[in-house]
Amino acid sequence: MIDLVSSDLVSIRNSLQNKEFTAVELLNEYIDRIAKSSKLNLFNTTNFENAHKAAQESDQKIIRGEARSLEGIPIGVKDLFCTAGIKTTASSKILENFVPAYESTITQKLKDQGMILLGKLSNDEFAMGSSNETSSSGPAVNPWKGDSSDKELVPGGSSGGSSGAVAASLCPLATATDTGGSIRQPAAFTGTVGLKPTYGRCSRWGIVAFASSLDQAGPITKTIADSAMALKYMAGYDEKDSTSADVDIEDYEQAVGQSIKGMTIGVPKEYEELDLEDDIKQNWYDAINWYKSEGVEIVSVDLPHSKYALPAYYIIAPAEASSNLARYDGVKYGTRMTGDSLDDLYKNTRGQGFGAEVKRRILIGTYVLSAGYYDAYYLKAQKVRRLIHSDFVEAFKKVDVIITPTTPTTAFGIGENLSDPLKMYSNDILTVPVNLAGLPAISIPSGLDSQGLPMGIQLITNHFNEGKLFQFGSVVEKSRSSITNQSEWWLE
Amino acid sequence: MNDINTTSEVRHTIEGQNGEWEIIIGLEIHAQVTSESKLFSGSSASFGGAPMSHVSLVDAAMPGMLPVINKHCVRQAVKTGLGLKAKINSYSIFDRKNYFYPDLPQGYQISQFKFPIVGEGEVKVSLKDGEDIIVRIERLHLEQDAGKSFHDIDPENSYIDLNRSGVALMEIVTMPDLRSADEAKSFVTKLRTILRYLETCDGNMEEGSLRADINVSVRKPGDNLGTRCEIKNVNSIRFIGMAIEYEARRQVNEIESGREIIQETRLFDVSTGETRSMRSKEEAHDYRYFPDPDLLPLNLEDDFIKEIINELPELPDYKKERLIKSYGLNSYDADILVSDKNYAEYFESVANGRDPKISVNWITGELFSALNKLNLDIHDSPVSSEQLGELIDLISDGTLSGRLAKDVFEIMLETKKNPRVIVEEKNLSQITDESSIEKIVDKIMESNIDKVAEAREKPKLIGWFVGQVMKESQGKANPATVNNLVKKKIGI
């Protein structure tokens, strides 16, 4: 029996390569555990049969000494990444039976290193949401519950399936995407490490698009070392994605835990005015002190335009989404609802195929791009975006890394915010400026709040400096109090 | 709108019931870029092919697919811009033009809106009366073609072929500088010639490589511009002329009957020669243009543009000037020769070391009428430029008379043999030896003594004697020598 709960990506890789257990044995353990975790509703599709064959091949390779870097390690993939021959639904009814004939660049790169696909993980429909409640397969559930509370909580969103699966030890690594916080916020809600790399660091090819200028793929893992290792194999230029960057990949694994003595960390003073839960604010101040005791200089920085980030984001992202989602029309693939006319076919397909939140964003996006409104909304939002970007550029002249909480609250209950979109959107207040500026940022578990729920610290750094996030992140990892989830209430 | 430089001069009017009307025409030409592959995908851009055989994942707008710009198409657009003496914009942007249609798989067309790749330019057009006009080009931009819908294959269903989906088009927009159907036809002919010289568009209107949207309005000379109607997608030069003539007449009739012109999009019906309403301004789409976030702005390096400048062929205007200067041709002949660069090339090969006027007369006379009869292009001519040159040499050195040369030319067309070979085989060479000709003249005169006397009174009879001599010599006697000898003998 392998102890999956105390295993992480690095330890699993070492054990496999040292032949402490086989890939097939490991896979069977994960399959068992996934089967016992159906209450969490994290998987849209499982891939156990194919995974079995792949694990057997991996074992052969390990025996022959031909093991690739991530040979035989099972992973979970957000259902936004196209996987050849395996259903890819974006958690939407409109793609409920869509099976791509192609593999996304990111999943292909991981497969090329020997990783084995366990299945496709739930997300908010088309990655639109902060709670994983808008998935066509129903809400995903957070493995965490508050102390002495029976309330089921959201795992965050949109990558709630990914964060939940890693937190519940159903896979050591899950791919995810982050458009406004969709990796970091779910990581913070589930006590996992979520990395959003620099825009352009990882290829978007083969990932169902939400908002093209903001979408970025990244890993959700248990530890910073795991995150560094995953990024190494996910990052890289892709000629098939015009917005991917031809920038050298640093040695991320080597950066983990490197001394940061004498370096600087920035605290944005505007963020102190935000409506943050007391525990989260306190945890943020604690984290700043951890850095102080490491010999890091604490510097106050100005991000004056961050307060406009949320409205700008909720114009730009829906605008792009309204156009990106136009291809789901029932004509070529996916769900088709027939009608008496072409217009009816469109209306029926899109009316029944999309959920309420997706429709809301398509409407917002269509509106802000319309003649007569474009300048007042889209163009103005783009100007705000440039100002936010300049704020960060200025700040990073002074500091190596900026520190903030990841979220204003810890995980909330399923259904609590669903009827109040504005409250739901405000979850992204600390993460969205990073996407607008195209910067890399990481959410690291930083302790438990008074209810016993995980909190996350967000570290932000300059473009293509992900190594610094791993370097600085280790301090949080080693200074925080224990964040082990003891209960495993969901196991059947 | 009165600052248009050509408004003051009224070049052409049509007669209404109560006076003259001026037609104002502007064109939007869609020219398919000559390219192996499509604008943003690697699939073939060639015409024809089984339906859906030139379709990539990108062309079909599968989820997660991304466009990558085809550099060759960019080069072609720049080259065309240079050929139109236009400003090349080193910074341009691809935008999405959003609308729903089944043969538009993405739900948007990637086009260029605010920042086109080519700015203002001009085209010199020679009209039939010998006058030149300048037609100003407003812009040229790159965009994707849509697929094709078929509504007549099946009574229940429509079919879609995406072979054309994503093929690169250049949209070339003129200022409203044209004033008649003839001017518009001459402009399109000239533009097509330029595109063919540049090899950036094959100009093949039957295959849809060149289509025009025509903006037509009418006004009383000196008045402000009237309301315009746009006639969509006219695909032959003749139809462009017919559509303009019909539409201008329709508008004049409307206004003279006290009705107003409604701004609308119209279709030209080939079977009736009429235009009819397609949609009004109120029904016009709101295309919600915005920069395509999947593509970075297009930045052209100076060296890239310089390289293209160095590759430019000699363009028709320069070629015409040079033919006039170096060969002493008149403007009319030069216009014919430059209308197709293969004509000019053929001419220069024939005229090399020969009389240019004789060369051009043979080409535009005998050769063109023969090719026309045989329905052949000049590069498929059965008579090569070398052979025609040799024929002209045989005329110049007296071997062949003009009449004999025409006979030889006919044989050349049939047999593709060299003229010298034909002359030898058929013993067709001209008799220039005076004493041989004198013998024939004497023979004719001896048997027609009465006519000789008569001819002294009526010199017109000389022609009869010349004809008899030529007949006797089977047409081979040199006509000039015959003429001189006959005159001498009769004593005139």
Predicted confidence (pLDDT) per residue in A195-246, tens digit = 999 999 999 999 999 999 999 999 999 999 999 999 999 999 999 999 999 9
What span, in angstroms and rounded, lies between the C-alpha atoms of B203 and B196? 7
The CA R_g of chain A, rounded to the nearest whole Å, is: 21
SS3 state at A227: helix
**Which residues of A are less than 8 Å from B290 in CB distance?**
319-320, 323, 369, 374, 378
> A–B: how many Cβ contacts below 8 A?
94
Q: Would the CB atoms of A82 and B294 count as touching at under 8 Å? A: no
* H/E segment holding residue B348: helix B341-351
Q: Which of B65, B288, B292, B298 should one mutate to test binding to chain A, selecting the residue with the greatest count of A CBs within 10 A?
A: B288
Give A78 to chain B, closest Cα distance, Å.
13
Handedness of CA A476, A477, A480, A486 (dihedral sign): positive
What does the pLDDT read at residue B1?
38
| Chain B residue whose CA is closest to A213 | B293
Please state whether the peptide bond connecting residue A203 to the residue before it is cis, i.e. omega within 30 degrees of 0: no
Sequential DSSP letters for A407-456: -SS---BTTSSTT-HHHHHGGGTTTHHHHHTT--EEEEEEEE-TTS-EEE
Which residues face A401 on adjacent strands?
Answer: A265, A461
Residue A93 annotated to the active site: no
Is residue A404 a contact partner of residue A268, using CB atoms and an 8 Å limit? Answer: yes
Residues 200-239 of A with CB under 8 A from B: 204-209, 211-213, 239
Q: Which of B65, B66, B101, B162 should one mutate to test binding to chain A, selecting the residue with the greatest count of A CBs within 10 A?
A: B66
What span, in angstroms and rounded, lies between the C-alpha atoms of B31 and B200? 9
What span, in angstroms and rounded, lies between the C-alpha atoms of B96 and B98? 6
| Chain B residue whose CA is closest to A206 | B64
| Chain B residue whose CA is closest to A346 | B100
The ipTM (two decimal places) reads: 0.96
What span, in angstroms and rounded, lies between the C-alpha atoms of B189 and B236? 10
- Residue B372: is it exposed, middle or buried by C-beta count within 10 angstroms (0-12/13-18/19+)? exposed
Report the candidate in B441, B439, B488 with the shortest Cα–Cα distance to residue B466.
B441
Residues contacting A281, CB < 8 A, separation 6+? A272, A405
Q: Would the CB atoms of A371 and B96 count as touching at under 8 Å? A: no
Q: Which of B41, B290, B299 should one mutate to test binding to chain A, selecting the residue with the greatest count of A CBs within 10 A?
A: B290
What span, in angstroms and rounded, lies between the C-alpha atoms of B165 and B143? 11
- Secondary structure in 3-state letters for B470-481: HHHCCCCECHHH
- Which residues of chain B are under the pLDDT cut of 50? 1-7
* Catalytic pick among A58, A78, A306, A468: A78
SS3 state at A297: strand
Facing B107 at nearest CB: one of A320, A329, A378 = A329
What does the pLDDT read at residue B436?
83
* Catalytic pick among A158, A159, A306, A426: A158
Give B303 to chain A, closest Cα distance, Å.
22
* Catalytic pick among A131, A136, A182, A322: A182
Q: Would the CB atoms of A208 and B288 count as touching at under 8 Å? A: no
**Which residues of B are less than 8 Å from A327 in CB distance?**
61, 63, 105-107
* H/E segment holding residue B28: strand B19-32
Predicted confidence (pLDDT) per residue in A121-147, tens digit = 999 999 999 999 999 999 999 999 999
What does the pLDDT read at residue B6?
47
| Chain A residue whose CA is closest to B295 | A242
Structure tokens at B338: 């430059």
Predicted confidence (pLDDT) per residue in A240-297, tens digit = 999 999 999 999 999 999 999 999 999 999 999 999 999 999 999 999 999 999 999 9
Facing A240 at nearest CB: one of B63, B68, B296 = B68
Q: Would the CB atoms of B62 and A371 count as touching at under 8 Å? A: no
Q: How does pLDDT run along chain A (492 residues), one tens digit per residue? A: 899 999 999 999 999 999 999 999 999 999 999 999 999 999 999 999 999 999 999 999 999 999 999 999 999 999 999 999 999 999 999 999 999 999 999 999 999 999 999 999 999 999 999 999 999 999 999 999 999 899 999 999 999 999 999 999 999 999 999 999 999 999 999 999 999 999 999 999 999 999 999 999 999 999 999 999 999 999 999 999 999 999 999 999 999 999 999 999 999 999 999 999 999 999 999 999 999 999 999 999 999 999 999 999 999 999 999 999 999 999 999 999 999 999 999 999 999 999 999 999 999 999 999 999 999 999 999 999 999 999 999 999 999 999 999 999 999 999 998 888 888 898 899 999 999 999 999 999 999 999 999 999 999 999 999 999 999 999 999 999 989 877 899 999
What span, in angstroms and rounded, lies between the C-alpha atoms of A106 and A205? 8
Q: Would the CB atoms of A241 and B66 count as touching at under 8 Å? A: yes
Give B294 to chain A, closest Cα distance, Å.
6
Neighbours of A419 (CB within 10 A): 8
pTM passes above 0.80: yes
Facing A100 at nearest CB: one of B62, B105, B107 = B62
What span, in angstroms and rounded, lies between the C-alpha atoms of A406 and A443? 6
Please state whether the peptide bond connecting residue A158 to the residue before it is cis, i.e. omega within 30 degrees of 0: yes
**Which residues of A are less than 8 Å from B64 in CB distance?**
81-82, 100, 104, 204-209
**Which residues of B are less than 8 Å from A331 in CB distance?**
102, 105, 160
What span, in angstroms and rounded, lies between the C-alpha atoms of B230 and B243? 11
Q: Would the CB atoms of A242 and B288 count as touching at under 8 Å? A: no
Is the minimum CB–CB distance between A243 and chain B shorter than 8 Å? yes
What does the pLDDT read at residue B465?
85
Q: Would the CB atoms of B294 and A366 count as touching at under 8 Å? A: no
Is residue B323 a contact partner of residue B314, using CB atoms and an 8 Å limit? Answer: no
Predicted confidence (pLDDT) per residue in A394-408, tens digit = 999 999 999 999 999
| Chain B residue whose CA is closest to A89 | B63
Give A2 to chain B, closest Cα distance, Å.
37
Residue A53 annotated to the active site: no
Residue A78 annotated to the active site: yes
- Residue A201: is it exposed, middle or buried by C-beta count within 10 angstroms (0-12/13-18/19+)? buried
- At B308, phi and psi to the nearest 5? -70, -40
Q: Which of A98, A105, A331 should one mutate to test binding to chain B, selecting the residue with the greatest count of B CBs within 10 A?
A: A331
Q: Would the CB atoms of A208 and B64 count as touching at under 8 Å? A: yes
Over chain A, what is the mean pLDDT?
97
**Which residues of A are less than 8 Å from B299 in CB distance?**
none
Is the minimum CB–CB distance between A327 and chain B shorter than 8 Å? yes
Q: Would the CB atoms of B66 and A333 count as touching at under 8 Å? A: no
Q: Would the CB atoms of A369 and B61 count as touching at under 8 Å? A: no
Q: Would the CB atoms of B63 and A332 count as touching at under 8 Å? A: no
What does the pLDDT read at residue B490?
80
Structure tokens at A245: 């960057």
Q: Would the CB atoms of A207 and B64 count as touching at under 8 Å? A: yes
**Which residues of B are less than 8 Å from A378 in CB distance?**
290
The type of residue at B128 is K
What does the pLDDT read at residue B309?
97
**Which residues of B are less than 8 Å from A95 in CB distance?**
63
Q: Would the CB atoms of A369 and B288 count as touching at under 8 Å? A: yes
